[in-house]
């Protein structure tokens, strides 16, 4: 478990991301190991709560380490991606349903796969450096790892705005949008972690007044449009060039899918329902979407100039979200 430091300290199970040189990006083995650790502590009387944190100042977890998925998909092997997303989502569901308190300390970049780890914890602590985002539309994917569930619960049209633009949230916005619970200056985190290890009592988490939340004041009514065309027209009427620039940058198919999925998730009873829908898209993403081109442009070649070619029609969107039959995502249901 070289990319995670998994141990028990006092009354706490401890999971620490230990690849700060890679911004603690989550790879397939890390997803498996993290879930295995949680399952191992589920009935352990010594472990009263679980703490998830990360080494380094720059990132809690800046996303999924998807280079292997890209290489396999480019070579025509789409199963590597399907396996990665399946096991990652099962880990996300395990965190969301865990019977003991899970406490996440999220500094720096918390994006994509990092939101899937920290965003579903029962106690989510942020600090001044925290920057949370779901940037998947910029790489030809959709807000996954239960991201559509979190976005669907954000106030007003914040969910649509974040899904389409990949906008970043500071600590105040993260708490306002429902992606975090408590703000505490990062210099105070070690003392709180020590207290949690000693007591095993998550009620000892007491934050202070969070910073400002600019999203709470921003007019996002344009993102209530029925579809991308209507949203663009409303943004043009408002002269919101920042948002329009993001919509011009990102994958049309990914944005259309993200918009539909955030709105569909508002009707979901559980986060697992959203995960299953997300998997229908991501299982097809390397073969039928813009994902390979997005990863090439943003991560591999880094030319930041993706050539989006995936069909963004309503018919293709329905096909990308159609049931997978025997390949549907299965999640362990616990009482």
pLDDT of amino acid 92: 98
**CA–CA separation, 323 and 144 (whole Å):** 16
pLDDT of amino acid 2: 83
**Pick from 114, 84, 95: which is nearest to 24 by CA?**
114
pLDDT of amino acid 332: 84
Burial (Cβ within 10 Å: 0-12, 13-18, ≥19) of residue 55: middle
pLDDT of amino acid 333: 74
Q: Can you read off the two tokens belonging to residue 58?
A: 């720059």
pLDDT of amino acid 334: 66
pLDDT of amino acid 246: 97
pLDDT of amino acid 87: 98
Domain ranges of the chain: 4-327
**CA–CA separation, 111 and 119 (whole Å):** 10
As assigned by CATH, the class of the 4-327 domain is alpha beta
**CA–CA separation, 229 and 236 (whole Å):** 11
Q: What is the pLDDT along the chain (335 residues), one digit of tens a residue?
A: 589 999 999 999 999 999 999 999 999 999 999 999 999 999 999 999 999 999 999 999 999 989 999 999 999 999 999 999 999 999 999 999 999 999 999 999 999 999 999 999 999 999 999 999 999 999 999 999 999 999 999 999 999 999 999 999 999 999 999 999 999 999 999 999 999 999 999 999 999 999 999 999 999 999 999 999 999 999 999 999 999 999 999 999 999 999 999 999 999 999 999 999 999 999 999 999 999 999 999 999 999 999 999 999 999 999 999 999 999 999 987 65
pTM, two decimal places: 0.96
| Phi, psi torsion values for 218, nearest 5 degrees | -80, 140
pLDDT of amino acid 51: 98
Q: H-helix or E-strand containing 205?
A: none
């Amino acid at each position: 478990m070289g990319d995670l430091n998994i141990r028990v300290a006092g009354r706490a199970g401890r999971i620490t991301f230990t690849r700060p040189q890679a911004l603690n990006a989550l790879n397939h083995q890390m997803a498996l190991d993290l879930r295995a650790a949680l399952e191992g502590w589920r009935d352990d009387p010594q472990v009263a709560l679980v703490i998830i944190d990360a080494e380094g100042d720059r990132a809690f977890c800046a996303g999924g380490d998807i280079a292997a998925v890209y290489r396999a998909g480019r070579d025509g092997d789409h199963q590597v991606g399907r396996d990665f997303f399946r096991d990652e989502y099962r880990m996300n569901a395990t965190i969301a349903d865990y019977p003991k308190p899970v406490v996440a300390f999220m500094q720096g970049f918390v994006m994509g796969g990092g939101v899937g780890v920290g965003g579903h914890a029962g106690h989510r602590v942020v600090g001044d450096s925290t920057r949370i985002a779901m940037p998947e539309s910029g790489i030809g994917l959709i807000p996954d790892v239960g991201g559509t569930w979190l976005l669907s619960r954000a106030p007003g049209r914040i969910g649509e705005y974040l899904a389409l633009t990949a906008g970043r949230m500071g600590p105040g916005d993260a708490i306002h949008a429902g992606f975090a619970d408590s703000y505490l200056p990062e210099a105070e985190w070690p003392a709180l972690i020590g207290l949690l290890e000693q007591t095993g009592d998550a009620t000892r988490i007491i934050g202070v007044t969070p910073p400002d939340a600019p999203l709470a004041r921003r007019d996002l009514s344009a993102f209530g449009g029925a579809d991308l065309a209507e949203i663009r027209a409303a943004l043009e009427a408002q002269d919101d060039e920042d948002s329009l620039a993001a919509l011009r940058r990102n994958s049309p198919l990914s944005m259309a899918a993200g918009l539909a999925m955030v709105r569909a998730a508002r009707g979901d009873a559980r986060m697992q329902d959203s995960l299953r829908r997300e998997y229908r898209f991501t299982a097809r993403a390397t073969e039928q979407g813009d994902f390979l081109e997005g990863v090439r442009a943003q991560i591999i070649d880094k030319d930041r100039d993706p050539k989006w070619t995936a069909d963004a029609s309503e018919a293709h969107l329905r096909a990308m979200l159609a049931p997978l039959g025997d390949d549907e995502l299965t999640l362990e249901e616990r009482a």
